Amino acid sequence: MATAFRDRTEAGQVLAEKLRAYAGRDDVIVLALPRGGVPVGFEVARALGAPLDVFVVRKLGVPGHEELAMGAIATGGVRVLNHDVVHGMGIPERVIEAVAAGEERELARREQLYRDSRPAPDARGRIAILVDDGLATGSTMRAAVAALRERGPKAIVVAVPTASPAACAEFAEMVEEAVCAITPEPFYAVGMWYEDFAQTTDDEVRTLLREAARGGGRGVWSVERESVGARSEERGAENG
- Model confidence at 79, pLDDT cuts 50, 70, 90, reads confident
Q: Which DSSP string corresponds to 61-79?
A: EETTEEEEEEEEEETTTEE
The mean per-residue pLDDT over the stretch 142-171 comes to: 94
Taking only the tens place, the pLDDT of each residue in 127-151 is 999 999 999 878 789 889 988 998 8
Res 172: pLDDT: 97
Select from 190, 141, 204 the least CA-distant residue to 161.
190
Res 68: pLDDT: 81
Res 226: pLDDT: 35
Res 80: pLDDT: 82
* Pairing mode of beta strands 28-32, 155-162: unpaired
Select from 91, 26, 21 the least CA-distant residue to 61.
91
Res 216: pLDDT: 52
Of 6-20, 114-128, 160-174, the poorest mean pLDDT is in: 114-128
* Rg, C-alpha atoms of the chain: 17
Select from 108, 103, 59 the least CA-distant residue to 81.
59
141 vs 64: CA distance, rounded Å: 22
Taking only the tens place, the pLDDT of each residue in 181-238 is 999 999 989 999 999 999 999 999 999 999 998 875 443 343 433 332 333 333 333 4
Q: Which domains does the chain have, with CATH numbers?
A: 8-56+124-230 (3.40.50.2020), 58-114 (3.30.1310)
Res 89: pLDDT: 94
The mean per-residue pLDDT over the stretch 112-138 comes to: 89
Which amino acid is it at 149?
Answer: R
Cis ω for the linkage preceding 184 (within 30 of 0): no
Res 117: pLDDT: 76
C-beta separation of 188 from 237 below 8 A:
no
The mean per-residue pLDDT over the stretch 22-48 comes to: 96
% residues pLDDT > 90 (the chain) = 63
Among 58-62, 95-99, 148-152, which range has the highest average pLDDT? 95-99
Residue 59 CB-density burial (10 A; 0-12 exposed, 13-18 middle, 19+ buried): buried
Res 118: pLDDT: 79
91 vs 101: CA distance, rounded Å: 16
Res 133: pLDDT: 97
The mean per-residue pLDDT over the stretch 12-34 comes to: 97
Average pLDDT of the residues of the chain: 86
Q: What length does the chain have?
A: 240
